[in-house]
Amino acid sequence: MRITQGCFSFLPDLSDDQITAQVEYCLGRNWAIGIEYTDEPHPRNTYWDMWGNPMFDLKDAKGVMMELADCRKNHPDSYIRLNAFDSTRGFETVVMSFIVNRPKVEPKIRMVRTEVAGRTLRYTHEVVR
Amino acid sequence: MDADTVTPATPAPTKVDLRAEFEESGVREVLEELDRELIGLAPVKSRIRETAALLLVDRARTQLGLAHETPTLHMSFTGNPGTGKTTVALKMAGLLKRLGYVRKGHLVSVTRDDLVGQYIGHTAPKTKEVLKRAMGGVLFIDEAYYLYRPDNERDYGQEAIEILLQVMENNRDDLVVILAGYADRMENFFQSNPGFRSRIAHHIEFPDYSDAELLAIVKHMMADQSYTMTPTAEAAFSEYIRLRRAQPHFANARSIRNAFDRARLRQANRLFETAKGALDAATLSTIEEPDIRASRVFRGGLDSDRQRVKEESK
């Protein structure tokens, strides 16, 4: 099942040129780019593993693309996303995030119903490989 | 008249007007700026002009669809301290940006400390960090020969050199590396690292400034900060330059800038001590002979240096 989270996730996967253009846009607004990866795409799993430090002082997207190539080489079968962090006082948050790499076979997310007291239903989701 | 002004709206694809290219790309502005702001350095300027011509022609060839390969643009700047290497590197970055050979045209200036780590496994990430920052611009490595320490074969500098060489080869479109340092030590460095020599196409030598050029430089600096010298002060300054050159640690324009800063200090002091009542702008911006004559250079330099010279002459 295709995981959809962050920007552009309903579109076909971005090509490297398109990723470069997006990164240029982010750098143009002085956002710092961080690369993160995970094998657990559950929507509640907000904390992915960081690939190196966020890059605060880049001028050109090539620096990010080099790190991304490195990360892809080491984790070819993981989800990789780019986060853009806006350090402006008052924002200080991730303002853009998009997936740039997916495993060949994506895991499914299954909904589990549990019946509790008074026939109330509790819903939860789990990742099935 | 009509015949003269009627030109095709779009230039024929089979022709490129180099002159127009030159004007449009903004290269002319950079070169003129270089001429205006940098005094002396004639060989450097002519080399930069040649490089600009080459790149312009190369770009024109690309437009006509002729076979081309990104030229190797890595350079080495050799010369004594204070001969304007960093300043020229900055201009070079602007020039390459205008010609479209680097995308962003910023200058990242580093030395050994920024590239080489202190323990095993520290160097590669550090060097990569710097390279990432320099992508799309110019990486200026000052005193590059410190990267290579022949006396210590386990020195981490070698690792930084290998990464640099690899990036210089593979990412020629992404960044331009400029190595800078003293001529003789750079020569040694290239001899022991042949990989660098073959990857660097442009070797530019920065000559020392003559006394007259240094005087022109200090006048330029003063004009920038709205200071003037009295004629006697100017004479004193020429003498200062002559004496300073003979003394140790002479760093061309840098020494002269420091001398100017100290003269300003003395001028401020003098005004503070002697002035009675209100001062006008002319007084505040005039440097007089005593401000320069008070320098230690006229008494034979720093005490420690004088001591050494005396011992050596014994």
> Is B10 a residue whose pLDDT tops 60?
no
Interchain CB contacts (distance < 8 Å): A and B: 33
Under 8 Å between Cβ of A128 and A109: yes
The pLDDT value recorded for residue B249 is: 84
- Compare B67 and B29 and report the one with higher pLDDT: B29
- Compare A111 and B100 and report the one with higher pLDDT: A111
> Is B228 a residue whose pLDDT tops 60?
yes
Which of these, B265, B251, B183, B181, lies nearest to B217 by C-alpha position?
B251
- Residue B241 near chain A (CB below 8 Å): no
ipTM of the complex: 0.82
pLDDT above 70 coverage of chain A, percent = 100
The pLDDT value recorded for residue B112 is: 92
d(CA B89, CA B138): 8
CA of B111 vs chain A CAs: smallest distance (Å): 18
The pTM for the full model equals 0.82
Give the side-chain half-sphere CA count within 13 A for B22: 13
Averaged pLDDT for residues B270-285:
85
Nearest chain B residue (CA) to A70: B128
- Cβ neighbours for A107, distance < 8 A, ≥ 6 positions apart: A1, A41, A127, A128, A129
> Is B12 a residue whose pLDDT tops 50?
no
- Residue B114 near chain A (CB below 8 Å): no
> Is B146 a residue whose pLDDT tops 50?
yes
- Cβ neighbours for B167, distance < 8 A, ≥ 6 positions apart: B131, B175, B177
The pLDDT value recorded for residue A72 is: 96
Under 8 Å between Cβ of A82 and A16: no
> Is A122 a residue whose pLDDT tops 50?
yes
CA of A75 vs chain B CAs: smallest distance (Å): 18
Pairwise CB contact (< 8 Å): A59 & B106: yes
> Is B2 a residue whose pLDDT tops 60?
no
> Which pLDDT tens digit goes with each residue over A9-46?
999 999 999 999 999 999 999 999 999 999 989 988 98
Pairwise CB contact (< 8 Å): A58 & B103: no
The pLDDT value recorded for residue B310 is: 62
Phi then psi dihedrals of residue B31, to 5 deg: -65, -40
> Which pLDDT tens digit goes with each residue over B216-225?
999 988 998 9
- Residue B242 near chain A (CB below 8 Å): no
* C-beta neighbour count of A95 within 10 angstroms: 14
Nearest chain B residue (CA) to A65: B132
Q: Are strands B176-181 and B75-79 parallel, antiparallel or unpaired?
A: parallel
> Is B173 a residue whose pLDDT tops 60?
yes
> Is B5 a residue whose pLDDT tops 80?
no
Nearest chain A residue (CA) to B103: A60
CA B63 to mean position of chain CA atoms: 32
pLDDT-derived band at B95 (thresholds 50, 70, 90) equals confident
- Residue B109 near chain A (CB below 8 Å): no
